[in-house]
Amino acid sequence: MTLQCAILAGGLGTRMLPATETVPKALLPVLGTPFVDWQLDLLASRGVRRVVCCVGHLGNLLVEHVGDGSRHGLEVRWADEGPRRLGTAGALRLAVDLGLLDEAFLVLYGDSYLPIDPGPVEEAWRRSGLPALMTVLRNEDRWDRSNCVYRDGRVVLYDKRRPVERREEMAWIDYGLSVLTRASIIHSVASGAVADLADVQRALSMSGRLAGCEVHQRFYEAGSPAGLRELEEHLRGTAGDDVTDPGCSGDAAGAQARADRT
């Protein structure tokens, strides 16, 4: 793994109220251990070495708990938006403006637990030749509402609003791990602007610039009471086993080559 990873952990955690009035969502206990420790240990075990945490609500508590990340075998740096609530894409633009993000980087959410290997995700992005990539899972509304049309290594439409005329094609869902370039954030989000990453990714998909990487291991999250229960059941069941999706399926490189010939 060579890409750094940006973690979006600045949200209010409204689905976990009242606990998140005084504790950031990433510090809520999962089997007695703060969720962020599970997440960072998983990233380290998958070869990630450098992390940028984008924080806001009660972010100082996260900084105090994680520090420089060395106890997880990571180098962790911080982009704190304070009380401004810049949104997920606005938080990434702040990290860009602070000089914390590389030319390209992984992105995941601060309540996501994704038991896959990010190495093949990075490889699929590099093969695609596109400025961004989204991992997708064939979901068919099983775990949440599907929001992607995926075809031949491309996310041809990502839209959380699920337009009626495309809904039958939306069998896939955003899995929660993406690759973005610094340039794609600079071109999409003004400094200091409030912006949602979903809108940036929707625009990328509609302009044909969003590669896709299909994974097959279901996702887990700690951002809702039901999600937290399912995550704890999963962690109890694996009991430390290295259960992971081997990576992407689909042919992003082939899709790019075919597109170049048309």
- How far apart, in whole angstroms, are the C-alpha atoms of residue 176 and residue 217? 12
> Residue 75 in contact with residue 68, Cβ under 8 Å?
yes
- How far apart, in whole angstroms, are the C-alpha atoms of residue 141 and residue 167? 11
Mean pLDDT in runs of 10 for the chain (262 residues)?
90 88 93 96 96 94 96 97 92 98 96 94 95 90 81 89 70 91 96 96 95 91 92 82 55 38 28
Q: H or E stretch including 135? A: strand 132-138
Strand partners, 173: 137
pLDDT of residue 239: 53
> Residue 188 in contact with residue 89, Cβ under 8 Å?
yes
> Residue 189 in contact with residue 90, Cβ under 8 Å?
yes
> Residue 168 in contact with residue 148, Cβ under 8 Å?
no
- How far apart, in whole angstroms, are the C-alpha atoms of residue 84 and residue 165? 36
pLDDT of residue 258: 34
Cis amide bond preceding 18, omega within 30: yes
DSSP 192-203: T----HHHHHHH
Domains of the chain: residue spans and CATH: 4-261 (3.90.550.10)
- How far apart, in whole angstroms, are the C-alpha atoms of residue 162 and residue 215? 21
SS3 state of residue 12:
coil
- If one counts every other C-beta atom within 10 angstroms of the C-beta of residue 257, the result is 13
pLDDT of residue 113: 96
CA end-to-end span of the chain: 33
Nearest to 212 by CA among 173, 185, 183: 173
Predicted TM-score (pTM) of this structure: 0.88
Q: How far is CA 166 from the centre of its chain?
A: 24
pLDDT of residue 256: 40
